[in-house]
Amino acid sequence: MKNLIQKIVQKPLWQNILIGIGVLFFLLIVFFLSLGWITGYGKTAKVSSVVGQSYVAAQQQLEKEGFEVVILDSIYIDSVAKLAVIRQTPEADEVVKAGRTIYLTINRMVPPQVEMPSLVGFSLKSAELYLQSLQLKLGSVSYKPDFARNAVLDQLFNGAPIAQGVKIPLGSTISLVIGTGVGGEETDMPNLVGLTYPEAINQLTMQRINVGSVLSLETIKDSAASFVFRQTPAHLSTKLDSLTGMKLPNKIRQGQLVDLYLSNTPPPKDSITNPSIKN
């Protein structure tokens, strides 16, 4: 090494400069010739279609083809399998540089939550459009006699009423109860005095009569164990039967309302057998 340095020093300066320039040119030529190999210039590959595949399968396929894989985003579509690829960038069949990064959008494993709105009073069409705007589905539609004709009376989730503000998974199905107006045929007003509150509700439901206000003159400890001591309209009217002289039952139509008055204790027997006393 020492002898080499001495030889270089003994040579004229202009020779050393020429040698340095030559070495520099040689290194530049080698660099540019190997640049294509280093950067992969000119090497291309076609992107396979992985939309619809699971993320794991898509990643394995793309990496096998020499691409890098990165999850760009995740969204939720209930009709697509969980963790399935929804979109890819670049798209399928595009010819790109070998080793390029492929960005994937996948379907979420767990659906996001959305607050349930109040649809009571909406028309069926308006309620359906509102549900669609929240990415919720309209399920079964049932009908019930009620003054609110063609309006939503109740909203159900998994068969049970659901209140406004309750969070449910995106894509959930909501069933609606729609009013059909008041029925045309009249029926005798049932006598509810003396029945427990659940029994009265069951009686009205069977006759398709709706419950209006539920009132009491005292604090009700347990509504399921309370009793009806008054109802409006009353069971009997002020009209008398021309043959028997007894009071005739009031008439009511399906969909009309009955107000109930509750008590913690059952009413006197006289008010049950002769409801006109209390009603």
Indicate whether 135 and 197 sit together in one domain.
no
Give the CATH number of the domain where residue 155 resides: 3.30.10.20
Indicate whether 77 and 119 sit together in one domain.
no
Q: What is the pLDDT of residue 24?
A: 75
Per-residue confidence band for 231, with pLDDT thresholds at 50, 70 and 90: very high
Phi, psi of 145 (to 5 degrees): -60, 130
Which amino acid, one-letter code, is at 55? Y
Q: What are the pLDDT digits (tens) for 167-223?
A: 999 989 999 999 888 777 788 999 999 999 999 999 998 888 889 899 998 999 899
Distance CA 136, CA 159 (A): 15
Indicate whether 196 and 172 sit together in one domain.
no
Q: What is the pLDDT of residue 16?
A: 59
Confidence (pTM): 0.56
Distance CA 259, CA 204 (A): 11
Indicate whether 199 and 262 sit together in one domain.
yes
30: in domain: no
Closest by CA to 233, choosing from 269, 190, 266, 182, is 190
Coil, strand, or helix at residue 80? coil
* Rounded average pLDDT over 219-235: 93
Indicate whether 169 and 201 sit together in one domain.
no
Examine residue 90 and say whether the peptide bond preceding it is cis (omega within 30 degrees of 0).
yes
Q: What are the pLDDT digits (tens) for 103-154?
A: 999 999 988 999 999 999 999 999 999 999 999 999 999 988 888 888 999 9
Q: Domains in the chain: how many in total? A: 3
Q: What is each CA distance from 53 to 87, 208, 214, in whole angstroms?
A: 10, 51, 56
19: in domain: no
Indicate whether 157 and 118 sit together in one domain.
yes
- Where among 139, 158, 179 does a domain terminate? 179
Q: What is the pLDDT of residue 276?
A: 47
26: in domain: no
Domain span at residue 164 reads 113-179
Closest by CA to 260, choosing from 208, 192, 163, is 192
22: in domain: no
Is pLDDT above 60 for 274? no
Q: What are the pLDDT digits (tens) for 33-50?
A: 655 555 555 577 888 899
